[in-house]
Structure 1
């Protein structure tokens, strides 16, 4: 990086493993250092250099920046597992994801099937393994500007490390010892990136503010090989409403007025945005709009109407099967009217997930039901996800995160069905698995809200589930104040730092400095060049020919084939990187044992160890006891407030003074406190229910027979101990069966294994490689006798 003096080099000094995908390890940056390269004797000082350095360092690289040596974090799993379709010359300045569309013909597909798919990790008799180098998706590379000097030279690709920004977390769904790793990856776009109120809408190229791609991966970790493992994934995204609008922060108000900069009669900006989505994900594009639809003073509803009009206009020029699906859900009004928001979101989620499907790379099991496998199948994979679910409110913060959790919960059910764990894709809320998923999405939402909102989430998933404790209102107020302070006082400096980090502004002595500009509008809004396509053709022809599949998947390119495990090539070995056989480590320090698991969410006194078993929470049981007839729950007990919290933001306000409807219950009655409920006394039994009500068993005093049986076992143990001392005195050594002749920390000589044990293990290995063999005649005869006996 260079400002007004010489170059600096930014080094990653500490890293932390946060996730594994197959053998590939994903790291989070923990610490960096910035070193000035020229010697101090030749340094020419500049008065503004220190201010630029301080501004650049305000982007905390130790906060939610991730990388991997062997896995492409800038693309989703489906794209990474797709075979490349063409070879191109190595040019890292080339941007295949933003380049003009090429014609798709049969020769391109034949080239892939005949050449590349046979060379990518080809397990032939000669044991030659090949990998490929592909281009990253530059929209999610945050250090692209910092690599410019490296990309200008003929530097070896091993030295080029792409950094992504967002959120990554991984947990283990422990199904009776079977490890299923659930990974949540959020990639934040570097296009039109910035803070909450300073970046709204979209630029002329169709890049929207606050765009984040969220990928939910579930894979069976019993086999850690990347190519042969059982993977499922689902991708969704969030982003601002594509259009030219803003909110001015000049006045000291919590909710600045929404202003339309100018109207786009031919919807060119929205067309450019959805053309990019078709190129990356295919069709259909499903939009879930959570913006308010009815207000006394039109604000959010004005944006919603404009968005709806743009979708109707763009759909005129697409075939019916590829048209954009538009769904609206006034989440704030539904929550205020005491409706079951999560139940309604679950219905919407099931509908939209079934439209786009999930990615599943392995063949289905014979016993799986057809309606549990969703997605578009092809020759390479069982199913592909074609299309994307795009969720937005105004800020893409609180409401958006809750809706994405509901969609992710629905997708998780289908993913577990594809892995053969569940028979039906239905997951109940009060299960260990869903509670773990809720925790992941809470952390996901908090991280993204801190990045472009200045505080954590104000209204959480528990708020919309009506399970948030009343004590959380104080925290909500503090989060709202923190967000308001950040938006008013510190966002301008933070926006300048982002523009500097991404290279949108390059310091120059002969030009005004970045803090002297009144606005950064022209840093992000570059006028579009002359477009030769007619206005009615907002999509590119090459993109259109690939539908419903993604153009980026169909035209995937690689620029180098690499022989893996070759002595001539230095590269990262995923097996060695994960297991570290050359290091002496403690077993408890391994990543698999430190990983969060559904066992952590399991009650202590339980007899059902399934992560999909419904756990009845004590507070829920207490709510059921207090709730008689149509009486409303006591807010001091259930944790709900009878009045709306004042801690709200533009994104997540449940109560809005501009609403023109009286707050109503789900049955249509006014929201008034029932006298019977208010006067009902709270008993000790209701506050502390018995174990039989909560866990399903009752603690009783043991019977006399059980006590006598226990005493017999104690006496037998004492007598056995005395007999053992008489038979084996202390001066007599007892040799165990597994005796090692030499055993220390450096060398061990294992005992000899008999041929019978070797044959059993070899049959076990062959079963995993080649599958089960046909049963022998003796086994078939035994089965016939058994079947005839049963009939």
Structure 2
């Protein structure tokens, strides 16, 4: 086939033949072109007309995510089940439903007992990431790119295989693809996947059917969990950076509107320490301005003008972050970056969410100037989007999604009128069926991005879904906040390690556990276990002293005082050294570990 044909698609479905010595990966679209992976020598090569041994087992797979090296050797990672999401630009988008991690080596007898235990743990980490909702891909469409970026590419660029021309910021399996991508001619086997949220809905207003889609792409450059991954790195990458694109397709017309979200672009941290809300801390030794400049240089290059909407509190623990962010953005000294602070919690206190209209009025002029992308059915470029709103709160989850959904709603109103789907005198709010769909898709987007970052669904989605803040919503938010507390303190160390392993931030060497120690070999300090036992014992004795006696004597009161002070003192010590009680990452430690009894 020509190079143009090669660039147009990736093989869709395969038969994986597993023989004792080799893997044979046979595309159903080209049965004579077989990818052979030697399980012993680890060579990877493409063969034409090769005969598969009859002893080999067979299974259908949907694509290859790549390979990963662990203690027992390489593993093949394959998609074994997929679900159709819908069509974008006449190309089918799929969601990964199930994967399988298959070892090259047929035995682990060459490992020590400890290495075998660590290897199993590494496999569990990879499986955990692959179970996170949701990964998406397309065999024929570059889902990593916005419609406007695809329009701006040259014909020569489209000749490049899909995995090479994909935006590396959003290819979550780029580390897994490295062995396949290093071999020439394997472009049709290299399937890039994105992580985030994709919704494609077929809608109709005023008798006009159209497709309305929402695509959120999570940036993998500084990916991680809510508390262990905050702020910026020296390269200008920020945590929880997400590009969200709203797309309307109508009778050949294509409309697109892009927004971004991302952590405050400074060196700051908020490591879990058993307190409900740890105090955010700004670094005093890192060059904030240099990293902030790099971040906005990249934003300007990728998106054009920036309106930075900061929704954090302008008092209390968040105030210092806001003031520092404002100062560093002013020092950029460019008219292409404008800072807009809006104290979400203060302005909307007492459930006055109607006051969000204040913010919407402030940014209305910029939204009109930025515009949106519109390509008509006859190939005429009617409009380009020049700039984006970059929205953040502390987590870039709950408050951020509320504001983004309102900005997107206003743009959608304009786009549907421009496409003559809505009349000039009509409002989207008048179409209750579509409004219900719109709000719930944006709330689903909030939940998905939140689950991927914090481990729980988003807060404040009752407003996104219904347009009102309710008491039931407050109760649900309280439950989700409690779940976040537990996960962020006691489960996210393992989850952060899993993400670092999957993305290649930590790479396993096969001599780990023999020639050099494994980071998984650390043990919990016994003193903390003793402290927890003392705390539980003190609380038990205090409650027993309070509840058991029918009359209180001086001796009983002394017992109560003693056990109460014991419980209080132990709790104080635990909170002072709270960072040692949480589950911290081990593969790529995020902070120096304080030691009990040391300053």
Fold shared by both chains (TM-score > 0.5)? yes
Query: How far apart, in 1, do the equivalents of 2:426 and 2:313 lie?
Result: 29
**Structure (1 or 2) with the larger CA radius of gyration:** 1
Query: How far apart, in 2, do the equivalents of 1:260 and 1:67 lie?
Result: 38
Query: How far apart, in 2, do the equivalents of 1:363 and 1:67 lie?
Result: 26
Give a deviation string over 1:50-76, Cα, whole Å, max 9, x none.
111112211134620000000001111
Query: Is the 2:79–2:98 contact (alpha carbons within 8 Å) kept by the matching residues of 1?
Result: yes
Tell me which residue corresponds to 1:503.
504
Give a deviation string over 1:424-470, Cα, whole Å, max 9, x none.
49735463233321111100000011111111122225279772443
1:513 aligns with 2:536: no
Query: How far apart, in 2, do the equivalents of 1:9 and 1:43 lie?
Result: 19
SS of residue in 2 equivalent to 1:14: strand
Tell me which residue corresponds to 1:341.
355
Query: How far apart, in 2, do the equivalents of 1:313 and 1:487 lie?
Result: 34
1:291 aligns with 2:292: no
SS of residue in 2 equivalent to 1:497: helix
Alignment of 1:155-166 (within 5 A): 155-166=185-196
Tell me which residue corresponds to 2:437.
436
Give the length in aligned residue pairs: 454
What stretches of structure 1 of length at least 5 have no aligned partner?
A: 93-131, 223-228, 365-378, 526-791
Distance 1:494-1:430 versus aligned 2 partners, 3 A rule: farther
Tell me which residue corresponds to 2:147.
77
Give a deviation string over 1:639-669, Cα, whole Å, max 9, x none.
xxxxxxxxxxxxxxxxxxxxxxxxxxxxxxx
Distance 1:522-1:498 versus aligned 2 partners, 3 A rule: closer
Query: Is the 2:206–2:422 contact (alpha carbons within 8 Å) kept by the matching residues of 1?
Result: no
SS of residue in 2 equivalent to 1:7: strand
Query: How far apart, in 1, do the equivalents of 2:447 and 2:355 lie?
Result: 21
Query: How far apart, in 2, do the equivalents of 1:33 and 1:266 lie?
Result: 42
Give a deviation string over 1:180-232, Cα, whole Å, max 9, x none.
11100000011111000111100000000000000000111x4xxxxxx2100
Distance 1:31-1:87 versus aligned 2 partners, 3 A rule: closer
1:51 aligns with 2:69: no
2:268 to 245, 269, 291: 245
Alignment of 1:467-546 (within 5 A): 467-508=468-509, 509=512, 510-515=515-520
Distance 1:280-1:520 versus aligned 2 partners, 3 A rule: farther
1:327 aligns with 2:357: no
Query: Is the 1:141–1:163 contact (alpha carbons within 8 Å) kept by the matching residues of 2?
Result: yes
2:210 to 180, 196, 200: 180
Tell me which residue corresponds to 1:63.
133
Distance 1:461-1:324 versus aligned 2 partners, 3 A rule: farther
Query: Is the 1:353–1:410 contact (alpha carbons within 8 Å) kept by the matching residues of 2?
Result: no
Query: How far apart, in 2, do the equivalents of 1:64 and 1:83 lie?
Result: 28
Tell me which residue corresponds to 1:355.
369
Query: Is the 2:200–2:211 contact (alpha carbons within 8 Å) kept by the matching residues of 1?
Result: yes
TM-score normalised by the chain length of structure 2: 0.71
Tell me which residue corresponds to 1:270.
292
2:279 to 247, 257, 260: 257
Query: How far apart, in 1, do the equivalents of 2:76 and 2:185 lie?
Result: 16
Tell me which residue corresponds to 2:15.
none
1:29 aligns with 2:96: yes
1:201 aligns with 2:231: yes
What stretches of structure 2 of length at least 5 have no aligned partner?
A: 1-67, 523-583, 592-599
Query: Is the 2:446–2:458 contact (alpha carbons within 8 Å) kept by the matching residues of 1?
Result: yes
Deviation at 1:140, TM superposition (A): 0.3
Give a deviation string over 1:591-649, Cα, whole Å, max 9, x none.
xxxxxxxxxxxxxxxxxxxxxxxxxxxxxxxxxxxxxxxxxxxxxxxxxxxxxxxxxxx
Deviation at 1:523, TM superposition (A): 7.7
Distance 1:22-1:363 versus aligned 2 partners, 3 A rule: closer
Deviation at 1:88, TM superposition (A): 10
Tell me which residue corresponds to 1:417.
417
Query: How far apart, in 1, do the equivalents of 2:485 and 2:371 lie?
Result: 39
2:85 to 15, 18, 39: 18
Alignment of 1:611-622 (within 5 A): none
Tell me which residue corresponds to 2:571.
none
Query: Is the 2:497–2:588 contact (alpha carbons within 8 Å) kept by the matching residues of 1?
Result: no
Query: Is the 1:192–1:524 contact (alpha carbons within 8 Å) kept by the matching residues of 2?
Result: no
Query: Is the 1:429–1:435 contact (alpha carbons within 8 Å) kept by the matching residues of 2?
Result: no
SS of residue in 1 equivalent to 2:226: coil
Deviation at 1:85, TM superposition (A): 6.9
Deviation at 1:35, TM superposition (A): 1.4
TM-score normalised by the chain length of structure 1: 0.54
Query: How far apart, in 1, do the equivalents of 2:502 and 2:325 lie?
Result: 32
Distance 1:21-1:312 versus aligned 2 partners, 3 A rule: same
Query: How far apart, in 1, do the equivalents of 2:120 and 2:302 lie?
Result: 41
SS of residue in 1 equivalent to 2:69: coil
Query: How far apart, in 1, do the equivalents of 2:142 and 2:150 lie?
Result: 7
Query: Is the 2:256–2:374 contact (alpha carbons within 8 Å) kept by the matching residues of 1?
Result: yes
Tell me which residue corresponds to 1:383.
383
SS of residue in 2 equivalent to 1:72: coil
1:138 aligns with 2:168: yes
SS of residue in 2 equivalent to 1:306: helix
Distance 1:36-1:235 versus aligned 2 partners, 3 A rule: same
Query: How far apart, in 1, do the equivalents of 2:588 and 2:104 lie?
Result: 32
SS of residue in 2 equivalent to 1:59: helix
Query: How far apart, in 2, do the equivalents of 1:239 and 1:470 lie?
Result: 29
Tell me which residue corresponds to 1:775.
none
Distance 1:449-1:154 versus aligned 2 partners, 3 A rule: same
SS of residue in 1 equivalent to 2:471: coil
Tell me which residue corresponds to 1:721.
none
Deviation at 1:417, TM superposition (A): 2.1
Deviation at 1:89, TM superposition (A): 9.9
Query: Is the 1:341–1:465 contact (alpha carbons within 8 Å) kept by the matching residues of 2?
Result: no
Query: Is the 2:460–2:469 contact (alpha carbons within 8 Å) kept by the matching residues of 1?
Result: no
Query: How far apart, in 2, do the equivalents of 1:245 and 1:521 lie?
Result: 21
Query: How far apart, in 2, do the equivalents of 1:394 and 1:469 lie?
Result: 23
Give a deviation string over 1:140-194, Cα, whole Å, max 9, x none.
0000011011011113311110010000012222124421111000000111110
Distance 1:3-1:521 versus aligned 2 partners, 3 A rule: closer
Tell me which residue corresponds to 2:534.
none
Query: How far apart, in 2, do the equivalents of 1:243 and 1:346 lie?
Result: 26
Bigger proportion of residues as strand: 2
Query: Is the 2:447–2:456 contact (alpha carbons within 8 Å) kept by the matching residues of 1?
Result: yes
Distance 1:8-1:336 versus aligned 2 partners, 3 A rule: same
